[in-house]
Structures are given as structure tokens and as C-alpha cells.
Structure 1
Amino acid sequence: MGTRRIWAGLAVLASTLGALPAHASLYWNHGVRSGTPSVCFVGDALTSRPARVQQVLEYIRDFERAANIRINYLGTCPAPTVQSNGDDWHGGDIRVVLPGTSVPFTGMVPGDGCPMFLDANGVYTGKNNGWGSWSNPPDELTLNRACRYNLKLGDDADANGVPWRDHTLHEFGHALGLYHEHERNDVDFAVCSASGFGGGRSSGHLTPYDRYSVMHYQFSSCGIDGNYGHAGLSAWDQLALHILYPEPVRVAELVGRTVIRTTEPLNLTSAWGSRGATLSVAASGFSWTLSGISYSSSSGLSTWLGAGTYPLQFSHADFLGRTYSYSGTVKVLTPADYAKQVVTPVATRTPLL
């Protein structure tokens, strides 16, 4: 085992092995993937376990419905190429191993030069001998290219023999950048006080603590199904993914009416905040301008305006430094004009709706 591989093993031990075994909206602080991550299954999974493969693909479409994520399905993971240093290079961003296929589900992860689960001397530690599931985070794709798989997904099933939807979403959630919800330092102990509930994760809180997150472990004594349920992504899971994986044209989303009367204030607010995001973590640099004049640097805008049309600009950044903007118009009408231009036309069309 060469020196480079030994140091690679040390890096993995330091950064991942404490978190890898399966034993959101909590960001893992390990980056995000492309919005088009490629997914493949190692070995003969497509022929030996076709129903399970299709089930996994059906489950992970939930991510596509929640955010700007489009899974690039490769089928069987391509054969590795050998690099000049003799290490394997495996294609596929998320390479999934299932039990009961041609690839061993336990033991040392296959792949010449694979650094996972090695000690400082490059010797396998035995920490992948269990049947639990795990996934690498996004920023370890390059580090673990020599490994045949980087997501291990078991078949834990419900009473009817159906593998839990939320178990699959949990592991792929890790692959997309989310961490264990129950390990937050701000968990609600009024909800649960069981062993293992709560932890030291003090950063990356994109939303308030969420007992319904698929990234939560199961705490049966507290009535928390966590990753052993079929409920799917919670509302805050979906919001966190929406924040992590925005549309290519990043729009500053807002909530509120932009056509109002002179007798009422203009009230607009960040849609992320309205959906429940922890804006002190998720976003910064808010700016609201009307007709080129700054009106607010917070997540909301509330002001009184005279009759007229006002160009609106709203912008902010997210916690990863990406910027978002919106350009629109605010129209302020007298009560008489509002009735004529808004109330009457809407009332006329209501019977047709």
C-alpha cells in the first residue's frame, strides 16, 4: 500500500467514518452535487434484483418533484478505468450497492485504491461488515472514485415486506448533502428524550427541527418513524432541497400582493421564510427597492405608498454565496380604481372558474 493511499485512508477516516454508517433539514456542510447527478447500480443488480432497482428509482423521483434535481440514470455502473497510478476510476456520481447481488454487500469496499474503511496503515478496519446502510456526502465523490460503490442501501422492510420509502430517501438525502435531523443541538426534548436523540450539530440548520424529516432516525418510544416510514419527504425536507438545488435562473421568491389600495400597506416577504426556512442561516443580504429607492434590508418589506406604479427589485444571497433576484412592479390604486380594475373584473369571471 503506497504512501498516497495511506494518507487518503487517513483523510477518509478523519472526515467520514464517524458519519458514514447509517449509523433535513440539516445541511451536512459537505457541499452539493450537480443538479443532474448520475445514479447507477453496481454488479448484476439490474438482472438479479430488477424489482428493487425500479422501486429505488421510483422512490428517488421524490427529489425531482421537490427541487431542481434531475436524476441521470445510467443503469449498471460502467466498468472502471485504470489510472496511471494503478488505481481504479469508477464512473457514476451515486453508485449504489444492493444486497443479494454479485457485489459483496459487506466487507472491504471493492476497488483498487479505494480508501474507505482503511486505518492509518491502509489496513481494512472491518467497519463495513454490518448490514446497515450509508452514503458518502457530495464532496467526497472525487476522493472515493476508486471505490466501486459510495452508497450502500439495505432492504429493511415493513410488516408487508416492502422496503421503507423513507429509508431510501434518507440515504440519497445524505448523497445530496443532508445530515441526521435527530443530531441537531436544537432538537425539541419535549418531543422526545430517548437515548441518541439530540447532538452537537450547531450549524447548517436550514429549517427548524423537524421530527417528520426522512433524515431523522426512528424513535418508536416517541412516536417518530423517521427513516422507517413511507410518508416521504416532509415539507421542510422539500424546502431544504429547494434551497440546496435552485433553478438555473435563481429567482428571489416572494409572497404578498403587488396590486393594492392606497388604504392598505404593501406587505411582501421572502417565500423561503414564509415556508419556514431559518433565514438567519439560509439567506443573507436582503435588498428591497422601489423606483430605485431602498426600502428594506430585511427578509420583508412593509410600507405605505401613494397611488402609482413602482418598479420593484428584490434580491438576496444564500448561505453558499449564490445570488437571487426578482424584478417586478407594484401597483397602488385608489379604492375606486381598485374596484374598477380588480374587484369588478374578478367578480365577473368568478362564475366561469
Structure 2
Amino acid sequence: MSNDTMRAVVWDKPYKVSIQQVPKPKLSHPDDIIVKVTTTCICGSDLHMYEGRTGAESGIVFGHENMGIVDELGPGVTLLKKGDRVVMPFNVACGRCLNCEEGRSAFCTHVNPGFVRCATSYVSMGPYQGGQAEYVKVPFADFNALKLPPGKEHEADFALLADIFPTGWHGVEISGFRPGESVAVWGAGPVGIMAAYSAILRGASQVFVVDRVPERLKKAKEIGCIPIDFSKSDPVKQILDYRGGKEVDRGVDAVGYQATTADGKTEQPNVVLEALISVVRPTGGLGIPGLYVPSDPGAADQNAQKGYMSFPFGKFFEKGLSMGTGQCNVKAYNRYLRDLIVAGRAKPSFVVSHEVSLDDAADAYDKFDRRVDGYTKVLLHP
């Protein structure tokens, strides 16, 4: 390998990625840094591209959950130095526009002109090359790179600050949650488990987690949640029966647009929203961190392909429910969650099932996508 190239996970076609030599990123702006990646994660959102359910083109480098060591700095970078250990939000932001100033970095209007969401290597969400590679370029680095304690302690925990821990926390936050309330979380993938974990950390009285994968439901139970298997019977009825007919205070959708019916195969994009509207009490709140997209080429019908869906808005209105949606503003949470980790109050790495070499990425993608061999959250080490 020359000094101008590096190994990276490249998408070839649906259900196929490979390790290829690609150009090593270079500084192109005074505010850039180059980070030597120590840990990068495979995210459930990566599977949308992996399966061909987006407009991704062959050759894209995957990876939007990245951490590592600062290797090069542009002359405009003032808060960081070479050798600093950093983790980056999956969504890139300028730190200077109105939304960034108000803490809504996921909706940066400078980096995201036309309000296209911007992330490191997610199709239609920005021009930045991904970090499932040996190196990654970070723009607006003083704002986007969060400094971590030096060394290797808490590596797996800190890696989750790039996306799933803040996103789970965000799902609970935008539901309007208050300590002492009950919560129902749909989806026990990494974000759903982190939402449930966040609700527990924040003082929830009762947390239900709905899924159909036994390993995921077991993980939910291990952290003190009540597992609900929706493949056995109506999950709303299961929760109401458990609570003597009482609805829950808050609901979180950590599934998104590829939600399925009880068989786990038949897609029904509105099924989780319908369930949440049924199971949350009047004047309660819904948090929707699960991904919904304006275009889904693989959807079953024309409406879903355009991001349209029907849901019982009349019942939503009648119950006076509120709904918070949208990508997580990682910068609003990550330093506080970092400090919870450092203090020993949070250890989100319990969700990590496998840590493998970057060279094993193709096998890891395949197993994670098929939900086999206990693959729930995978960390890659270049």
C-alpha cells in the first residue's frame, strides 16, 4: 500500500461489500483534520444501503460512526492537536448557522443546503467519505470532533457516542419523557436498546421493549426492561394486559420505514406508528428516531416509494398526542454522555456483540443483516 491509499469498506452492489484500496483523504480546508481510525461501527442504517434500499452508487465508502486519533490538522484548527483521541457525530455540521447555534446540529443549514441531511457516508446525506477505513477526514473539526480521555479505556463505549447512544437518548428526549414515566420502545436493535437504556438511566418507572428476535429481547430483559415478542400476539394488547389496561406515558419508534408485521417479513411502514398511537395515553408523547426516508426504491407500493404512508391521524388528534421526529442532534448530548461513561454511570458497550478486524467486514455485514450468530452491534478495528 502506498502512502496515498488506504483500506476501506466499499459497497459493490446489494448485499455485497469488499475491502478495497481507495485514496487516503487529504486536508482541503483550514478547518479539516485527518483522523487515524481506531474503531468504527456497522450501523443498522448502513443496512439500508447494503440491501440496495437507497440510491447509493457502487464505490461508496461506508461508515458514519467513527473514532480515532488526530493525525493531521488544518491551520484553522485551534482546539485540537495531533495525537488527541476523538469521536465524531455521524451528522456533520458547521457550528455557525442558526440551527447549530440553537443545538440542532442535525439540521445544519450551511452544510446541508436545501435541507438535505448531512452525514459521513450516507447516501443523499452529504459528500463526505465514510470512516470504515484506516483514515477519515473531519470537516469543521473544532466543532465536530469531541475530545476523549487519552489511552484505550472505554473504547467500545466511546465509539457508541458517534450515533446509537445519543440517538437512543434523543428518542426518549423528543417523546417529552419525564422521570417516573412509563415508556414503550418499538425495536430492540442497537438504537432501540439504547433508547430503553437511556429511559432507565433517566428514571423511567417501567420500560417495555417490543421485538421478535430472541437475542434482542433477552438483552432488553438483562437491563431491566419488560420484553414483548410481537411475533406471538398483538404487542399493544400484551402491554395493556400487563398494565391492567393502562396505557404508557411515552412511546419510541426505533424501527423506522422497514417495519414489518408479525411474521418479520411483510413490510408495513406504518405499523409501528399505529401501535404507538394505540398504546400511549391521551396527551402522552411519541419520539421517532427510527429512520424514515422521502424515497425508498425497494418499497412494496408507490406511496411508500415516495415516503408517503397513512396512519390514524384522527386518533392521534383525538388523544392530544405530541410527536417528536428527526435525526439526532448528536452534539446536544455527546459530551454529557461521555462524562456519564467516564464517571462510571453509563456503560453502553453492553450492546456490542462482536469486535472484528476491518478485513472481516464483508462477513460481519452478511451476518448482521441476516441477524444470525447473535450479531447485534459490530465494531470494526482497522
* TM-score, normalised relative to structure 2: 0.25
* TM-score, normalised relative to structure 1: 0.27
Identify the structure with the greater helix proportion.
Answer: 2
Larger Rg: 1
